[in-house]
Structure 1
Amino acid sequence: MFTGIVEELGEIAAVEALPDAARFAIRGPAVAPGALHGESIAVNGVCLTVVEARGDVFTADVMKETLVRSSLGSLVPGDPVNLERAVRADQRLGGHIVQGHVDGTGVVLSREPAEHWEVVRVSLPAELDRYVVEKGSIAVDGISLTVTGVPPGEFAVSLIPTTLQLTTLGRKKPGDPVNLEVDVIAKYIEKLVAARGQGVAS
């Protein structure tokens, strides 16, 4: 489990094509040293399992489904990526509960700079619309953000300078894809309410 608080802006060091998969080598001086085989690291919001770590680089295998359902399939060496290690039970939950299971992808629609923040609009797949509410939480490329508006077919977030400087969202341009993970609590509530409406005992 993650919190959506990015620890480091890493970089794709290499991508090796495998049958129905790919192996990513990712440079992250803060998260790679000491990473153990089998540990989880979120890369642009996608939970990946460490295969090995040497120095400031770790490798992870990504299966075809993940490459297709997320924006990882478009990454090439040199691309920046948001990195977050799995949260420990004794840590503060600074963002919100993020599983690293991408629900879909959106596209950056526009950026509107202001004096102290920047408003970014992102397209929202129709099947995810019901889970996104104003003032609710959403993970965009693994970053825990507060939704500031939900016009039809999209949502907006306001980014502070720290987020712009230390994450990939400071570099994304209109037309660029982003990974989206909606609040898992909303999905659980939906299922429970639907079951109760059908007369299923809880």
Structure 2
Amino acid sequence: MFTGIVEELGTVESIEEQGDAIRLTLRGATVLEGTGLGDSIAVNGCCLTVVATGSSADGDAVDLWTADVMQETLDKTSLRGVAPGDRVNLERAVTVEKRLGGHLVQGHVDGVGTVVSRTPSEHWEVVEIALPVPDERGGLARYLVDKGSITVDGVSLTVVEARDDSFTVSLIPETLARTTLGFRGPGDRVNLEADVIAKHVERLLAGGYLTQKDS
């Protein structure tokens, strides 16, 4: 479980192709503090498991870590398109004593959106993101409401305007400076995760588990 508050901008160090998977090695020292093998780190909002750690050639500090990315993850997230040198948002799994600064984020990507436009203003920037084409189960638009929560590339954001096939968010200078959303441009793909509470409510209502008496 994560909060959507990015701790560090990491870098893709190397990619090892393994047929139906890749082995992804990333550089990021902050997220390795207190982290051991088997722990979870979100990479652009996608929960990955640390399988190895090490030090880069130019230093003794542990600043490299490796994760195996399976075919399902490659098919459903933007990690398919990463390349060595790319910057990525990193966040360690939340601990019980940590403040919940964002919202409850699982690190389970629901779909890949596309940046449509960026509109700068004096103190923030409005970004429009197109939702992925709906599948047979429906689209992500049903989970979005104005002032609701959405995770974009692992960043917890508030929806400004929820539309049928897109949504907008306002990015403050802190977000622009400390996350990949500061340099994503029109056409770039971003991982999206809807609010898990909305998904649970939908399931309860669809299954008839909530009745008037229950409410």
> In which range does the TM-score fall when normalised by the shorter chain?
over 0.9
Asked whether the equivalents of residues 35 and 53 of structure 1 are also in contact (C-alpha less than 8 Å), the reply is no
* CA deviation vs aligned residue, 1:31-70 (integer Å, no higher than 9, x gap): 1244211000000000000001111010000001101100
Q: What's 1:68 paired with?
A: 75
Q: What's 1:47 paired with?
A: 47
- The structural deviation recorded for 1:193 is 1.1
Q: What's 1:150 paired with?
A: 162
- CA separation of 1:117/1:198 partners in 2, compared to 1, >3 Å: closer, same or farther? closer
Alignment of 1:105 with 2:145, yes or no, is no
Q: What's 1:28 paired with?
A: 28
* Structure-1-length-normalised TM-score: 0.96
Q: 1:175 aligns with which of 187, 194, 201?
A: 187
Q: 2:101 aligns with which of 87, 94, 110?
A: 94
Query: SS of the counterpart of 1:31?
Result: helix
Distance in 2 (CA, whole Å) between partners of 1:190 and 1:4 is 22
Q: What's 1:140 paired with?
A: 152
Distance in 1 (CA, whole Å) between partners of 2:159 and 2:53 is 35
Distance in 2 (CA, whole Å) between partners of 1:193 and 1:34 is 41
- The structural deviation recorded for 1:195 is 1.6
Query: SS of the counterpart of 2:207?
Result: helix
* CA deviation vs aligned residue, 1:74-98 (integer Å, no higher than 9, x gap): 0000000000000001111100000
Alignment of 1:16 with 2:16, yes or no, is yes
Distance in 2 (CA, whole Å) between partners of 1:198 and 1:52 is 45
The size of the alignment, in residue pairs, is 201
Structure 1: runs of 5 or more not aligned? none
Aligned identity (percent) is 59
- The structural deviation recorded for 1:197 is 6.7
- The structural deviation recorded for 1:18 is 0.7
Asked whether the equivalents of residues 51 and 58 of structure 1 are also in contact (C-alpha less than 8 Å), the reply is yes
* Structure-2-length-normalised TM-score: 0.90
Query: SS of the counterpart of 2:176?
Result: helix
The 4+ residue runs of structure 1 with deviation greater than 2 A are: 32-35
- The structural deviation recorded for 1:15 is 0.5
Alignment of 1:82 with 2:94, yes or no, is no
Asked whether the equivalents of residues 33 and 56 of structure 1 are also in contact (C-alpha less than 8 Å), the reply is no
